[in-house]
Amino acid sequence: MKQIKNKVRTDVHLFFENDDIPKIHEYVRKNFPDETAEAIRKADETVRQRFLFDCRWDLESCFVPVDFSGSIDWLYKPADDPEWTYSLNRMRYWICLGQAYVFTGDERYAQTFALQLSDWVQRVKKTDALYAPAWRTIEAGFRLEYWIKAYQYFRQSPSLTAEIRNIFFTSVSEHAEYIISSYNSFNVISNWGVLANHGLFMAGILLDNTAYCSTALVRLGEELETQVYRDGMQWEQSPMYHNEVLHDFLDVLILADRNGVLVNSDIRGRVHDMCRAAQYFQKPDHHEPMSGDSDDLDISYNTARGAYVFKDSCMKFCSIPEFDYDTVWDTGFAAAEEYAAMPAVSPDTASRFLAESGNVYMRSGWEKDSTYIHFHCGTLGAGHGHSDQLHTDVYSGGEDILCDAGRFTYVSKPERYEFKDAQAHNTVTVDDVNYCRWKDSWGASSFCRPVNQKFIFAEKYAYCEGGHTGYMSLEAGGVFVNRRILFIQPDIILFCDEFFGTGVHTYRQYFHFSDTGNVVPYGKELFRFTGKKESAVLLFPEADKQLFSSKLIQTRISRHYGKSSSNGTVCSSIQGSGCMNMSAVLFTGTAETDRFSAEKVPVRSMVTGAQKESVFPDEKIEAWNIEKGRRRYTVVIAHTEFAAPTDMFCTDGCTGFANVMVFDRIDGTRTVILR
């Protein structure tokens, strides 16, 4: 085999040092015995050539095990999904081999690494068109990360002979040269570019190749500037891909700092912004919402590393007190000690509006049982985006209440669109039309513009709203839709959906409850959710309207790629002409004996005259009396101007002038939310 041209550094500093291994081994054995056993189990399967891609950070989990009795078929594809093939060629499982090796000292693991590496390099040639699926740039980037991280564990193994080391380093160099030659505009805008050039940077560190490192940093800077909004959110509107990209940038910063490579402040600042976005979009259990193409994953791995890299005490407060299993391996024992000693300081606010990406995160606090609300009114996010405008997630009491349906598959078949369409999200539809029409698994033939995004925090209340143009074309109904959410902390959420249009239409609201509990209807006005930890009630003050209906339907949630479970979804409907509104109130933490209610109350004009209505119609302004336990509120929301030329409203003894206003009927306070 041709000898490598690059120098191989003998003093390279990767994610942990050789001296760290006994300390990390003891740390994970003591604190994470299940993960330690799982790594050994995965390694044993790899030795037997059984492949099942169910690790925490396997990007597309595959739950079909495949055994190879002879040579590994590196292009094998079970069923119709190529993601299994891609995972096979990424070799994330070699990291488990390495961990099992340092846990046990068993040379079988190192020998398996050497044999599979040699076999793959010999047979899977970049120049052979047959193996193109294994040589996508995203796979090349993943391999450079996973190969180099796996190599750390085997550095002192006698099974890595001079010949095996030459095969390894030569292939690393070949991968780097391939990525160097493959850069284009697609890489600038896609997460593929970050994944590939992150691998290129790692190769540069390992091979002491400054050209690789500098080229990677220039490209990563361009990709970061293009792909990441100023609010810190990665543009593809998928928390999972945001975290994958963030993971790569944190890898780069860690290696750069340890090996004396200068990274400009613009990159560092934007990566810190990404960390803050992840800090706010994580739910109280540290899991990401399943927005767009995302799984139900614990992301404290990233927020903890971000807190360590940027010495951010507020971020640590919102993460974990000590490194978890993955983080200690990807950062090192000295870093784990430094992180554990860092102070944890509560952020000034628990809620945040990521204005450029169009995501609102409202919280009652940072505690694990606090209430969390996510509202999306932003860009589609290209291929990984879903028809989720105005979608709302709710988490409370340690459990999902309302959640996104997830992604399930990337294969262009009915199941792909079942999880991408608007009906799979906690949003509204007009005449059962999907405003976003899909051409295939990744492309759409119709889009919409998010508009009217607002977020206001006012004492014990938080408020957001937004609409979109997806139903404004004549083909889609000629209707503008707008959602308004009032959060009366900590446990009352008012949804008010507005439809501005002409002609007769059917409007629907969808509320997808978590698969961790059951939903039971009580008439058409009330639905009770009982979960493993939390209970909630969804109540419709509109239920007395003649053309209002609601029903419980069975749908599916996919928390992990390739897997789904059934859940209960409440669908409410109303039919009518002109401008119409629909409201619903969600009470969280509601036991069977708790008192709660939500009823519409008429809104009257305070100024009478020939041009004034004594009672305003619903399409102008509405009010609700909302009660839970000993707390009572009157909420007023104006849908259009109501005060011309001069007026105020009066409802159940409450008077005022505002677009959104809340009256606390117990303490007598009047709060203007939106003037």
Give the pLDDT of residue 176. Answer: 98
Residue 287 has phi, psi (to 5 degrees) of -90, 150
* pTM, entire model: 0.94
Radius of gyration from C-alpha coordinates of the chain? 27
Give the pLDDT of residue 534. Answer: 95
Bridge partners (DSSP) listed for residue 399: 396
Q: Which among 154, 279, 297, 274 is positioned nearest to 224, based on CA atoms? A: 274
Give the pLDDT of residue 318. Answer: 96
> Considering the domain 12-219, what is its CATH architecture?
Alpha/alpha barrel (1.50)
Q: Which fold has domain 352-593?
A: Beta-galactosidase; Chain A, domain 5 (2.70.98)
What does the domain layout of the chain look like in residue ranges?
Answer: 12-219, 228-348, 352-593, 595-675
Element (H, E) at 313: helix 313-317
Is residue 107 exposed (0-12), middle (13-18) or buried (19+ Cβ within 10 Å)? middle
Helix (H, G, I), strand (E, B) or coil at 280: helix
pLDDT in tens, 605-623: 887 654 566 888 888 999 9
Give the pLDDT of residue 198. Answer: 98
Across the beta sheet with 649-651, what order do the strands follow?
A: 604-605, 649-651, 654-656
pLDDT profile of the chain (675 residues), mean per 10: 51 88 95 96 97 86 90 94 94 97 97 98 96 96 97 95 97 97 93 97 97 97 96 96 97 96 95 97 97 96 96 97 96 97 95 96 94 96 92 97 96 95 96 91 89 91 96 83 97 97 93 97 93 96 83 97 96 92 95 89 79 80 95 95 82 92 94 89
Q: How far apart are CA 230 and CA 220, in angstroms?
A: 16
Q: How far apart are CA 374 and CA 293, in angstroms?
A: 16
Is residue 667 exposed (0-12), middle (13-18) or buried (19+ Cβ within 10 Å)? exposed
Q: How far apart are CA 652 and CA 662, in angstroms?
A: 13
pLDDT in tens, 105-132: 999 999 999 999 999 999 999 999 999 9
Q: How far apart are CA 35 and CA 324, in angstroms?
A: 10
Q: How far apart are CA 231 and CA 280, in angstroms?
A: 11
